[in-house]
Structures are given as C-alpha cells and as structure tokens.
Amino acid sequence: MKRFYFLITIFMSVFAFSQNTINSDASLNWVGYMNVFDTSNNYMFGSGWGVADLKTEINTSANTITLKPNYNTYNASDSYWSDGAGNGNKIMEASTYYEPGATYNGQNLTFTGNVSSNTLSNQYTAVAFIKALDPANGYATVYNNFITIPASGTFTINAPASSLATGLLIQVGFTVRGINANPTTEAAKGSIVIAPANLSVASFSKKSLGIYPNLVTAGEEIYIKSKVKTVEVYNVSGQKVKSVSAQSINSQGLAKGVYIIKAETENGEVQSSKFIVK
C-alpha cells in the first residue's frame, strides 16, 4: 500500500509541470513542400508536393519517417535538372511537416522524436523545426526554431506560447536541403530514420480531462465526460499502449500501475488525466 501511494505522489508531482508535446508519429497527417534554388542559391520556385515525391517515406506499420535527398527531378537530358556530368543542377529544400491546427496556439509546445539511424551524406543538411506562419501576411514565417537532426538519439525543440499566438499557422517537421541527386547514387547518399521518442510523463497536457472511475481493475471501462475525437493511453514511460475514437476505453490488458489518458476534445483542446489499474 505504501508503494501504491508513493507512485501516486511521484506521478502527480511530475504531471504538474506538463506541457503539450507533438511526437514524430508516422500516423500523423504529414504533408510536403518543396523550395527550389539554383546552384548559386537564388530562389527559383516553391510549391506543395506529395510527401513521397519529396523522397520522404512514411511507414505506419513500423512507425518510422525516413528522410532522403530528392531524386525524382533528376533528368540527365535536361540541363535545368542536370549538370551534364551525372549530377543534379538545383538545390532542393524538401520539407515534411504536420499542421496541428489551432490546438496549440497560445500554448508552450514541444516537438520531439528519436533518430534510430542517420547515414545521410554530408552533402546535405537536415533539420527538425517548429514554425509559425502568418496567414494575414502572405504566410510569412514569423517564428522558426530548428535544430540539426542528430546522428542518433532523441531530439527536442521547444516553442514558447508567446511565439504561437492565436491566428498563426503552426507547423512541426523536417527539412532536407541539398542538390537534386542522381538516383544511381541513392544508396551512397544515405537517409535518416526517425521514430517517436519515448515520452516522459511531464510531456502531457496539464489541462484536466474528466474521467470516471480513475481507479480500476484490469478489464473495467473508463468513461470520459467531455466529447472527444480521439483517446490515447500511455504508461509512465510515455509509451502509447491503447488508442480509440470513443467516449470510453477499456483497461483490458493493462498491467497494474499508473497510466495517462490523453484526448483531443471536439473543440480541439488536448486534455489529459491519470488513472490507476490496481
């Protein structure tokens, strides 16, 4: 019994310092955009591209995002795209990103992920970012916090609530920049494989979600008071263990311990609450 109350105390002390986090989950609605420059770095054009056309690979089964140089524009017979010597002739800036909508406007935000492999050639740069664009000003970028994607391990980017004001368009994602590549060099130029990071309890929203009961035996149903779109359950290591789109979730299969329910409500808020399987 003492251990049980100790777990509750630890959970609540960590939970009090929580904030919103977007993890690099392959199941998110990732979209693509390409900016093109000449080899002197003069801007040529930019437009929305399909994620696969960027050469980003989304694998929802493995829950990975693989970033690569762009190959599909290379054309050996076209001097616009090829230098005539087997190399590309344009600098490609390929962005793969997720737009979470208004959920995180006016709130602190963290974007995170885990680099499981990074063999990308040093001819290319790759960054992870949080951006805010202003739709009222031609979608000008008004906030851009980015880091170079590391060789391995977890990366984390933070943005303060003051930089994500209401009305701004928030984006989180990745950019790979470098010459458009000859497809015959694909294996040599490598890639970056990103998976979700294991979240700590501190990463969840401090907005309280009404649930009942919050102390259950495995197999009992937990009901949610607010109208919700999606519901996820995480253990105290931040690993997602259940996911539904319903007003309740069953605790069947959960071991004894402390868990977090994280839900997106119908009005777009992300709220969290704890429960315990006894």
Residue 48 token pair: 């929305």
The predicted pLDDT at position 191 comes to: 98
Q: Which residues contact 131 (CB under 8 A, 6 or more apart)?
A: 97, 141, 143, 144, 145, 170, 171, 172
Alpha carbon 143 to chain centroid, angstroms = 17
Q: Which residues contact 151 (CB under 8 A, 6 or more apart)?
A: 115, 118
Q: Are 110 and 145 in contact (CB under 8 A)?
A: no
The predicted pLDDT at position 133 comes to: 98
pLDDT band at 256 (very low <50, low <70, confident <90, very high): confident
The predicted pLDDT at position 249 comes to: 93
Per-residue pLDDT of 4-58, as tens digits, reads 444 444 444 344 334 588 999 898 999 999 999 999 999 999 999 999 999 999 9
The predicted pLDDT at position 236 comes to: 66
pLDDT band at 216 (very low <50, low <70, confident <90, very high): very high
Percentage of the chain lying above the pLDDT 90 cut = 64
Query: C-alpha dihedral over 35, 99, 29, 18, to 10 degrees?
Result: 130
The predicted pLDDT at position 199 comes to: 65
- State the Cα–Cα distance between residues 277 and 142, nearest whole angstrom: 45
pLDDT band at 150 (very low <50, low <70, confident <90, very high): very high
For the entire predicted model, the pTM comes to 0.70
Beta bridge partners of 174: 96, 128
Task: Say which residue the tokens 């002739």 belong to.
Answer: 89
Task: Say which residue the tokens 């170079």 belong to.
Answer: 148
Which is higher by pLDDT, 239 or 54? Answer: 54
Beta bridge partners of 99: none
- State the Cα–Cα distance between residues 259 and 217, nearest whole angstrom: 13
Grouping H, G, I as helix, E, B as strand and the rest as coil, residue 278 is coil
The predicted pLDDT at position 143 comes to: 98
Per-residue pLDDT of 165-204, as tens digits, reads 999 999 999 999 999 999 999 999 999 999 988 765 555 6
Mean pLDDT over 78-106 rounds to 95
**47, 220, 221, 274 from 253: Cα distances, Å:** 46, 10, 12, 17
The predicted pLDDT at position 241 comes to: 85
